[in-house]
């Protein structure tokens, strides 16, 4: 396939994925009303932003209970997979599938409340940390990769670090500043922190709202470059700057140096 065809298909896939995620967000917002619960405030706020980007806020607010049930029935009925044929059987409303990023949280709830949620995550009844350790061992990298079961704000390392990679979308907002401060104390002189933010450079407000919802529901922090620079300076980092973006991945990077 030529490069142009690849880019066209990737662009189409991204647009379709955004639409699918927007439908899931709209359905989750309706489910909160249907169940009569508030859900996590930060997630609910992001759901409302997606609904606003869809131009559907007034429609959602005006729905009666019966009308909302009809919309939910349509949105939640399972569709046959691509290339498959569904057997004829009585239809019905199904449970809204939970996002993998939410790690089992209910509709409208936040996935994680502390920065150690990854160490406690389980997949198919197995510890994610245990599975990762098996992969490290099988690759023969035990001497190069160390996996720790602890929060980042409690991290200890007697040797210190020359380079730290910190993805903000894995760190909850309540502990983000503490994590940055702790990392600063563990870094060697002239060491560099690379602070990573998830960012969708898209003029489509729906795409931005959907991706921000994903970050918040996964338990991460919504951080933008100016905010990241201020946080790093407050923690004591020098020579802070945003790196010029010359990559396609939806990421923005801010760096800081410990003197």
Question: Do 126 and 22 sit in the same domain of this protein?
Answer: no
Q: Which domain holds residue 144?
A: 117-150
Question: Do 110 and 125 sit in the same domain of this protein?
Answer: no
Question: Do 198 and 146 sit in the same domain of this protein?
Answer: no
Count of alpha carbons within 13 angstroms of residue 2, beta-carbon side: 3
0.75 exceeded by pTM: no
Question: Do 28 and 129 sit in the same domain of this protein?
Answer: no
What one-character-per-residue DSSP string does 35-55 give?
HT----HHHHHHHHHHHHHHT
Question: Do 29 and 130 sit in the same domain of this protein?
Answer: no
Full pLDDT tens readout for the chain, 259 residues: 566 788 788 878 888 988 999 999 999 999 999 999 988 898 999 999 999 999 999 999 999 989 998 888 887 755 544 444 444 333 333 333 333 333 323 334 444 444 444 444 444 445 778 888 899 999 999 888 888 888 888 888 888 999 999 999 889 989 999 999 999 999 999 999 999 998 765 668 888 899 889 888 888 999 989 999 999 999 999 999 999 988 777 789 999 999 9
Which one, of 3, 218, 6, lies nearest residue 100 by Cα?
218
166 assigned to some structural domain: yes
Is 108 in contact with 39 (CB distance < 8 Å)?
Answer: yes
95 assigned to some structural domain: no
Q: Maximum Cα–Cα distance for the chain, whole Å?
A: 68
106 assigned to some structural domain: yes
Question: Do 215 and 227 sit in the same domain of this protein?
Answer: yes
Question: Do 55 and 143 sit in the same domain of this protein?
Answer: no
Question: Do 168 and 65 sit in the same domain of this protein?
Answer: yes
Q: How many domains does the chain contain in total?
A: 2
Is 101 in contact with 218 (CB distance < 8 Å)?
Answer: yes
**CB neighbours of residue 69 within 10 Å:** 14
107 assigned to some structural domain: yes
Question: Do 108 and 132 sit in the same domain of this protein?
Answer: no
| SS3 of residue 84 by DSSP | coil
Report the alpha-carbon angle 69-70-76, nearest 5. 85
Q: What CATH number has the domain bearing residue 226?
A: 3.40.50
| SS3 of residue 251 by DSSP | strand
Question: Do 37 and 71 sit in the same domain of this protein?
Answer: yes
Question: Do 142 and 158 sit in the same domain of this protein?
Answer: no
191 assigned to some structural domain: yes
């Amino acid at each position: 396939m030529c490069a142009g065809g690849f880019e066209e298909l990737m662009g189409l896939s991204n647009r379709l994925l955004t639409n699918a995620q927007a439908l899931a967000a709209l359905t989750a917002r309706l489910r909160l009303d249907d169940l009569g619960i508030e859900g996590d405030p930060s997630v609910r706020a992001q759901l409302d932003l997606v609904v606003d980007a869809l131009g559907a806020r007034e429609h959602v607010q005006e729905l009666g209970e019966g009308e909302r049930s009809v919309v939910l029935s349509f949105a939640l009925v399972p569709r046959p997979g691509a290339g498959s044929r569904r057997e004829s059987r009585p239809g019905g409303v199904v449970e809204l599938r939970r996002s993998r990023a939410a790690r089992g949280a209910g509709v409208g709830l936040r996935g994680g409340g502390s920065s150690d949620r990854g160490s406690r995550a389980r997949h198919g009844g197995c510890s994610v940390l245990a599975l990762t350790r098996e992969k490290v061992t099988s690759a023969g990298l035990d001497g190069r990769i160390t996996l720790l079961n602890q929060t980042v704000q409690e991290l200890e390392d007697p040797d210190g670090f020359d380079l730290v990679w910190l993805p903000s979308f894995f760190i909850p907002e309540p502990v983000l500043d503490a994590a940055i401060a702790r990392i600063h104390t563990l870094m060697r002189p002239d060491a560099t922190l690379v602070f990573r933010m998830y960012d969708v450079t898209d003029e489509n407000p729906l795409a931005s709202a959907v991706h921000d919802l994903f970050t918040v529901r996964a338990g991460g922090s919504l951080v933008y470059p100016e905010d990241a620079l201020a946080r790093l300076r407050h923690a004591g980092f020098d020579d802070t700057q945003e790196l010029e973006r010359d990559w396609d991945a939806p990421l923005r990077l801010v760096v800081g140096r410990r003197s």
